Homo-oligomer: A and B are copies of this chain.
Amino acid sequence: MHPRLTTTPAAATVFTMVLTQGPVSRVEIARRSGLSSAAVTKAARPFIEAGYLEELAATERTAPGAGRPASPLTIRPDREFFCGVKITHEELIGVVTDLRAEPLVSAHRPLDTTSVEGVVSALAGLVSELLAADPAYGERCHALGLAVSGDVDKAHGVMRYSPFLHWRQVPLARLAAEATGLTVTIENDVKSLAVAEQWFGDGVGAASFALVTVGVGIGCGLVVNDRVMAGSHGVAGEIGHVPVGGDEPECHCGGRGCVEAIAGTAPLLAAVRAASGDGSLTVEAAIGAAHAGDAAVREVFARAAHAIGLAMAAMANLFGPERIIVTGDVPGLLSYGLFEEQLNRSFAAQAFGAAADCRLLLRPRSFEQWARGAAAVAIQQQFTLDGV
């Protein structure tokens, strides 16, 4: 139906470079990749013929002076579409994206059950709803990515363990493929988001970076040498259980002093309520109060930011990433500068030597971004040779 285009390393290199680094001339690709320009010409041709890439008319001279102007290669984003769905224990969030993982439509679907059959059939419904939004999607969308929190065996398409769904050893990729008729990739949700940043977000151009997600839990996706780190026992990036609090709070994991037990949504809310004396305060209201100048509440946020900053410093000391992207799904938490200042200060204080040179990027990300991450994994799967 659609024969694989990326069969050789050169093909994968050329295509991903055009996809992720915007319009680039062939010589420039050759320079950046170390390939000969002849190889680039050959590798690019099948993609152009299949409609994935095209030559941009040379409008502006790149280099000043004489010479034949370059005709940069660029992606044709609407050549193929990808479906991405983030699965939580209470709802499905889905998007259809173009080749650049840019969301075109999105939809939700609440889950009234966490049974495998129930989730898969809700998924099938959501996907067909999404693909019905435009006839082009139905024609040119063949891949579906799923992002789930927990222990995912991507290579075999098996959900090894999901604490929230109470699933163990579920062959989710196969079930979803049967229910939707699409090629399905599954991946851990934080890793999926890391892939989206790696190819289409703030990780572009960095061989190594870390993505820290602040929310109910504190998660972390690590990209080292252009590859998302897997962890030999299925565990990696569990920054939430770095013990920065001394003996202080006990954590649900059995440990003590975990960041997550200080700065996760639940303990944060409890601390905010205790500080304000208002037992029914919401996080949003607390953010408002802090922004208005409530010192006690500000202090609570600062303590949480301090814990996260220390854990990030511990991580940076161990790995030395080029950048750290901090995301949070609570609107306003990152943006109002509530966290930012303390986060930077605590990170800088604990980062060792040159590790402090690592750039911190605070980037609020909406719920849709998680679904986008799932689509990004499907895209990467299709155009990479890694696990093939």
Contact = CB atoms under 8 A, between A and B. Distances in A.
Contact of A230 (B235, B237, B320): B320
A235 B255 CA distance: 28
B244 A243 contact: yes
Nearest to A322: B232
B315 A318 contact: yes
- Considering residues A231, A237, A321, which has the most beta carbons from chain B within 10 angstroms of its beta carbon? A231
Contacts of A239: 317-318
A304 interface: no
Given A253-B352, A255-B313, A352-B255, A320 B244 contact: no
Interface in A350-386: 350, 352-355, 357-358
A2 interface: no
A238 interface: yes
Contacts of A224: 224-225, 229
Given A246-B245, A354-B151, A358-B233, A319 B222 contact: yes
A320 B231 contact: yes
Contacts of A286: none
A208 B227 contact: no
Interface in A236-265: 236-248, 253-257
Given A255-B313, A310-B243, A320 B350 contact: no
A318 B237 contact: yes
- Considering residues A248, A313, A353, which has the most beta carbons from chain B within 10 angstroms of its beta carbon? A353
Contact of A349 (B207, B220, B236, B254): B254
22 contacts: A207-B232, A225-B225, A225-B227, A231-B319, A231-B320, A232-B320, A232-B322, A233-B322, A233-B358, A234-B320, A235-B320, A235-B353, A237-B318, A238-B317, A242-B317, A243-B244, A243-B310, A243-B350, A254-B349, A255-B350, A255-B352, A318-B319
